[in-house]
Amino acid sequence: MKRLIFLGPPGAGKGTQALILSDLYQIPHISTGDILRAAVKAETPLGIKARSYMDQGELVPDDLILDLIKERLRQSDTRGGWILDGFPRNVSQAAFLAELLQELHLAADCVLNLEVPDEVLVERLLSRKRKDDNETTIRRRLEVYHQDTVPVISFYSDCGILKAVNGNDSLEGVTTALKAIIDQA
């Protein structure tokens, strides 16, 4: 059973690595963005609430994201494990997740933090050629990451389950490093 949390800045490769490892270990890759889109598409009560924020260009509030995560972790395909990608994004979400996992009689086996220097991230994100990826926007996203998400790294480090991985290696090199840590967890 593998219950994993992936942390790292935008452009670190969390989503790519989560997909590879999800397939390898046959566990669901749970991304808050995917959960939101699926709930909206399925028109679940939470999806309808989320859509009202998204349609106005607002961030979906934490409590709604937390309810969606709770709903997702209770689904039967998560019994063998899961990879949380991009969640928690702040310390209050990390504390909520710890309480939720305790309530579900679960624990995260490992928190993996992909470390990549900011300048490399800017280059990577600019090379994706997405409309919303200009240098100013990217640097702002990195500021928000350092402000809100970096304290989550300390939270999990204090819990003794954080493992740092060099995300500035080749795709295969990062996958190999992650697998080595996961297989020992």
Question: Active-site residue among 41, 74, 79, 128?
Answer: 128
Bond preceding residue 88 cis, omega within 30 of 0:
yes
Question: Active-site residue among 14, 37, 139, 179?
Answer: 14
Question: Active-site residue among 41, 79, 130, 140?
Answer: 130
The pLDDT assigned to 184 comes to: 92
Residue found under tokens 């280059």: 123
**Are 8 and 14 within 8 A, CB to CB?**
yes
DSSP symbol at 167 = T
The pLDDT assigned to 54 comes to: 79
89 is catalytic: yes
Low-confidence ranges of the chain (pLDDT < 50): none
Concatenating the DSSP letter of every residue in 77-129 gives GGTTEEEEES---SHHHHHHHHHHHHHTT---SEEEEEE--HHHHHHHHHHT-
- E-assigned strands of the chain? 2-7, 29-31, 81-85, 110-115, 162-166
**Are 153 and 89 within 8 A, CB to CB?**
no
Burial of 144 (0-12, 13-18, 19+ CB in 10 A): middle
The pLDDT assigned to 185 comes to: 83
87: how many CB neighbours lie within 10 A of its CB? 24
Question: What are residue 7's DSSP bridge partners?
Answer: 113
The pLDDT assigned to 29 comes to: 96
139 is catalytic: no
The pLDDT assigned to 5 comes to: 97
Domains parsed from the chain with CATH numbers: 2-184 (3.40.50.300)
The pLDDT assigned to 141 comes to: 87
The pLDDT assigned to 150 comes to: 92
**Are 15 and 31 within 8 A, CB to CB?**
yes
141 is catalytic: yes
Question: Active-site residue among 37, 51, 70, 89?
Answer: 89
The pLDDT assigned to 35 comes to: 86
14 is catalytic: yes
- For residues 102 and 73, give the distance between their C-alpha atoms in angstroms, rounded to a whole number: 12
pTM for the full model?
0.88
130 is catalytic: yes
Q: Is 166 helix (H, G, I), strand (E, B) or coil?
A: strand
- For residues 142 and 55, give the distance between their C-alpha atoms in angstroms, rounded to a whole number: 25
